[in-house]
Chain A
Amino acid sequence: MIALFARFGRGRTPVAPLEYTRRWWMRGWVGLVLLFLYLPLITLIAFSFNDSRRNIVWRGFTLDYYDKALNNTSLMEALLNSLTIAALATAVSVVLGSLAALWLWRFRFPFKAGAEGVMALPIVVPEICMGVAMLVFFARIGFPTDLVWPFNLGAITIAHITFCFPFVTMVVRSRLTSFNREEEEAAKDLGASEWQALRDVLIPHMMPGIVAGALLAFTLSLDDFVITFFTSGPNTITFPVKIYSMVRFSVTPEVNAASAMVIAITVILTTVALKLQSRSGISAQGH
Chain B
Amino acid sequence: MAENPIIEIRNVCKRFGQVTAVDNVSLNIMPGEFFVLLGPSGCGKTTLLRMIAGFELPTEGQILIDGQDMARVPPNKRPVNMVFQSYAVFPHMSVADNVGYGLKIAGVGGAERESRVREALELVKLDGFGARKPNQLSGGQRQRVALARSLVMRPKVLLLDEPLSALDAKLRAQMQFELADLQDQVGITFITVTHDQDEALSMAGRIAVMNKGEVAQLASPSDLYEFPANRFVADFVGSVNLFEGKLTLDEPDRAAVDCPGLGKVYLNHGVTGPHGADVWVAIRPEKIQLHVPGEGKAIRGAAEDAPEGHNFARGTIKGMSYLGDITLFEIRLESGAMLRVSRPNMSRRDQEDFTWDDKVSMHWRADSPVVLLS
Asked whether the complex places CB atoms of A and B closer than 8 A, the reply is yes
A17 touching B59, Cβ below 8 Å:
no
Size band of the B side of the interface? Answer: under 10
In the bound complex, CA of A3 to CA of B54 (Å): 28
Cβ contacts A122-144/B at 8 Å (1 or 0 each): 00000000000000000000000
Partner of B54, one of A10, A13, A17: A17
Query: B56 contacts the other chain (Cβ, under 8 Å)?
Result: yes
Q: Does A18 interact with chain B (Cβ within 8 Å)?
A: yes
Q: Check: A16 CB closer than 8 A to any chain B CB.
A: yes
**B29: Cβ under 8 A from any A Cβ:** no
Chain A nearest Cβ from B70, distance in angstroms:
12
Closest beta carbon of chain A to B22's beta carbon, Å: 13
Interface size of A in residues (CB-CB distance below 8 Å): 8
- CB nearest to A15 among chain B residues: B57
Q: Which residues, 1 to 52 on A, are CB-close (under 8 Å) to B?
A: 3, 10, 13-18
Total number of residue pairs linking A and B with CB closer than 8 Å:
15
For residue A3, which residues in chain B have a CB less than 8 angstroms away from its CB? 18
Q: How far is the CA of A3 from the CA of B18 in the complex (A)?
A: 9
Cβ contact within 8 Å between A18 and B57 = no
In the complex, what residue of chain B is closest to A14 when comparing beta carbons? B57
For chain B, residues 48 to 67, give those with C-beta under 8 angstroms from any C-beta of chain A.
54-57, 59
Q: Complex Cα distance A13/B14, Å? A: 10
**B 60-97 to A, binary, CB cutoff 8 A, 1 in contact else 0:** 00000000000100110000000000000000000000
Bound together, the chains give a CA A13 to CA B21 distance in angstroms of 15
Name the B residues within 8 Å of A13 (CB-CB). Answer: 57, 59
How many Å lie between the Cα of A109 and that of B277 in the bound state?
77
Query: Across the interface, which residues of B come within 8 angstroms of A17, CB to CB?
Result: 54-55, 74-75
Per-residue interface assignment for chain B, residues 295 to 336, with 1 indicating a CB less than 8 Å from any chain A CB and 0 otherwise: 000000000000000000000000000000000000000000
| Interchain nearest-CB distance for A89 vs B (Å) | 43
Which residues from chain A contact B74 at a C-beta distance below 8 Å?
A: 17
Residue of B nearest to A10 (CB): B59
Q: Tell me, rounded to whole Å, the shortest Cβ–Cβ distance linking B129 to chain A.
A: 30
Taking CB atoms, residues of chain A closer than 8 Å to B18 are: 3
Nearest opposing residue in chain B for A3, CB measure = B18
Residues B18-60 near A (CB distance < 8 A): 18, 54-57, 59
Give A69 to B27 CA distance when docked, in angstroms: 73
With both chains docked as a complex, state the minimum distance between the C-beta of B74 and any C-beta of chain A, in angstroms: 6
| B55: chain A residues within 8 A (beta carbon) | 16-18
Closest chain A residue to B15, Cβ basis: A13
Give the complex CA separation of A13 and B75 in angstroms.
Answer: 17
Q: Which residue of B lies closest to A13 (CB)?
A: B59
> What residues on A are CB-neighbors of B75 within 8 Å?
17
Task: A18 to B53: give the CA distance in the assembly, Å.
Answer: 13
CA distance A170 to B269 in the complex (A): 74
- Chain B residues within an 8 Å CB radius of A14: 57, 71
A74 vs chain B, min Cβ distance (A): 56
Shortest C-beta distance, A248 to chain B (Å), equals 51
Closest CB of chain B to A22's CB: distance in Å?
A: 11
Chain A, residue nearest B56 (CB): A16
- Tell me, rounded to whole Å, the shortest Cβ–Cβ distance linking A2 to chain B: 13
Enumerate chain B residues within 8 angstroms of A10, measured Cβ to Cβ.
59
- Please, how many angstroms separate the alpha-carbon atoms of A14 and B57 in the complex? 7
* Bound Cα distance A15, B72 (Å): 10
Q: How far is the CA of A18 from the CA of B76 in the complex (A)?
A: 12
Point out the residues of chain A lying under 8 angstroms from B54, CB to CB. Answer: 17
Smallest CB separation, A127 vs chain B (Å): 36
Instruction: Report the bound CA distance from A13 to B16 in whole Å.
Output: 10
Report the nearest A residue to B17, measured CB to CB: A7
Q: Which of B54, B56, B74, B75 lies at the interface centre, i.e. has the most chain A CB atoms within 10 A of its CB? A: B56
- Distance in Å from the Cβ of B86 to the closest Cβ of chain A? 15
Contacts of A15 in B (CB 8 A): 57
Return chain A residues, CB-CB under 8 Å to B57.
13-16
The complex places the Cα of A14 from the Cα of B71 at a distance, in Å, of: 9
Cα distance, A17 to B54, chains bound together (Å): 8
C-alpha gap A10/B18 in the complex (Å): 13
Contact mask for chain B residues 224-245; partner A; CB cutoff 8 A; 1 contact, 0 none: 0000000000000000000000
- Measured between C-beta atoms, what is the minimum distance from B188 to chain A in Å? 23
In the complex, what's the smallest C-beta–C-beta distance from B77 to chain A, in angstroms? 11
Query: With A and B bound together, what is the CA distance between A3 and B15 in angstroms?
Result: 14
For chain A residues 68-95, which have a beta carbon within 8 Å of chain B?
none
Minimum CB–CB distance from A131 to chain B (whole Å) comes to: 41
Bound: A13/B15 CA distance, A: 10
Bound Cα distance A108, B364 (Å): 68
Instruction: Give min CB distance, B111 to chain A, whole Å.
Output: 32
Closest-CB distance, B343 to chain A (whole angstroms): 42
Q: How far is the CA of A131 from the CA of B320 in the complex (A)?
A: 78
How far does the alpha carbon of A18 sit from the alpha carbon of B18 in the complex, in Å?
20
Chain B residues near A18 (CB-CB < 8 A): 55
* CB of A14 to closest CB in B, whole Å: 5
Q: How far is the CA of A17 from the CA of B78 in the complex (A)?
A: 13
A15 to B18, CA, bound (A): 17
**B333 → chain A, closest Cβ, in Å?**
43
Q: Nearest Cβ distance between residue A4 and chain B, in whole angstroms?
A: 11
Give A23 to B69 CA distance when docked, in angstroms.
23
Extra 12 A-B pairs, beta carbons < 8 Å, given A3-B18, A17-B55, A18-B55: A10-B59, A13-B57, A13-B59, A14-B57, A14-B71, A15-B57, A16-B55, A16-B56, A16-B57, A17-B54, A17-B74, A17-B75
Can you give 15 A-B contacts (C-beta < 8 A)? A3-B18, A10-B59, A13-B57, A13-B59, A14-B57, A14-B71, A15-B57, A16-B55, A16-B56, A16-B57, A17-B54, A17-B55, A17-B74, A17-B75, A18-B55
Q: What 8 A-B pairs come out closest when comparing CB atoms?
A: A14-B57, A16-B57, A16-B56, A17-B75, A13-B59, A17-B55, A17-B74, A16-B55
